């Protein structure tokens, strides 16, 4: 990449390239963006965002554009939102969220809207809101049962959204809940075996959700599976290393690749994979 980044985003575009946006470089918040071309293995710069930001989200919309929401910039949490058009490389602002949020989640629903949950404006909210790409307008929806930041949100095969774990001002959470887009309501589901934030959640090809690592009074190597049919969690094999703030990607062969992360000032270059079979 052209600059070092942490707390940035990476989004796979419909043309096969990967858009990387924002992040933090030793206290310097980035508004730059760049594209990775897997066919050549090269990076090229593209249009810069309107605002420098880190700890934001980036979601690929059904129209091929990328929606970037919120984040943090020089000590302030953000409500601003912008759109990237891959056909032009240009960013445009769109409607702002009702709340400032960083370390939140953003999920593309089957109806094309985007659900944003939780996060932090230095006063952790339980609120959630919906973005409509056809109008550029945000509307509030049902609030979660618990306030959360650094949690995960996974769109299940039935269209519901599973939110798991995260943190409050003083503790990590084991609780999980489900959002029903047809009603806008949240219902609690089974608790995870471990409290955790800064973890990952991956929807497997069998419909179950794999949660890995994270942090709870120290880094975690444990992993567990959520079964949407029963609403229950079961533990599975632990990772070789304890990892918070890592990544997890479901590969075409159904395995899950976990990379990087690390506790506090230690950062890993190692990777490992999980085989659901």
Q: Are residues 128 and 171 in the same domain?
A: no
- Shared domain for 60 and 158, answered yes or no, is no
Residues 87 and 60 in one domain: yes
pTM: 0.96
* Tens digits of residue pLDDT in 96-137: 999 999 999 999 999 999 999 999 977 899 999 999 999 999
Number of domains in the chain: 2
User: Of 89, 117, 143, which one is at a domain's C-terminal end?
Assistant: 143
Q: What is the C-alpha separation between 8 and 254, in angstroms, rounded? A: 26
Instruction: Write out the residue range of the structural domain in which residue 45 sits.
Output: 1-143
**pLDDT tens sequence across 19-67:** 999 999 989 999 999 999 999 999 999 999 999 999 999 999 999 999 9
Percent above pLDDT 70 for the chain:
100
Residue with tokens 């949100």: 153
Which tokens sit at 103? 């370390």
Tens digits of per-residue pLDDT, 192-211? 999 999 999 999 999 999 99
| 208-224 pLDDT per residue, tens | 999 999 999 999 999 99
Residue-averaged pLDDT of the chain: 96
If you search the block for the tokens 């940035």, which residue do you land on? 8
Q: Specify the pLDDT at position 146.
A: 96
Q: Helices marked H in 134-209 — which ranges?
A: none
Q: Are residues 21 and 43 in the same domain?
A: yes
- Measured CA distances, 153 to 104, 136, 164, 272 (Å): 9, 22, 7, 22
Q: Are residues 176 and 116 in the same domain?
A: no
The CATH number of the domain holding residue 179 is 2.120.10.80
pLDDT value of residue 213 = 98
Q: Do residue 243 and residue 276 come from a single domain? A: yes
């Amino acid at each position: 990449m052209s600059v070092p980044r942490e707390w940035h985003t990476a989004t796979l575009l419909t043309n096969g390239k990967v858009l990387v946006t924002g992040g933090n470089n030793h206290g310097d918040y980035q508004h730059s963006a760049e594209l990775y071309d897997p066919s050549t293995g090269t990076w090229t710069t593209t249009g810069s965002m309107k605002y420098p930001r880190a700890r934001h989200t980036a979601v690929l919309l059904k129209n091929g554009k990328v929606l970037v929401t919120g984040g943090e910039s020089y000590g302030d949490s953000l409500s601003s939102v912008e759109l990237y058009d891959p056909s032009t490389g240009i960013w445009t602002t769109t409607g702002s969220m009702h709340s400032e949020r960083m370390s939140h989640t953003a999920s593309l629903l089957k109806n094309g809207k985007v659900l944003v949950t939780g996060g932090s404006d230095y006063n952790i909210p339980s609120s959630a809101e919906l973005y409509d790409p056809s109008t550029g307008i945000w509307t509030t929806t049902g609030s979660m049962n618990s306030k959360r930041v650094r949690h995960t949100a996974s769109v299940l095969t039935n269209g519901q959204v599973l939110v798991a774990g995260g943190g409050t001002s003083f503790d990590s959470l084991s609780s999980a809940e489900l959002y029903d887009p047809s009603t806008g309501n949240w219902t609690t589901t089974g608790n995870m075996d471990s409290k955790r934030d800064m973890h990952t959640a991956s929807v497997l090809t069998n419909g179950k959700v794999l949660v890995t690592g994270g942090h709870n009074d120290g880094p975690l190597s444990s992993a567990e599976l959520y079964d949407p049919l029963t609403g229950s969690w079961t533990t599975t094999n632990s990772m070789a290393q304890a990892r918070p703030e890592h990544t997890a990607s479901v590969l075409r062969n159904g395995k899950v690749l976990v990379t990087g992360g690390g506790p506090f000032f230690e950062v890993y270059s190692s990777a490992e994979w999980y085989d659901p079979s």
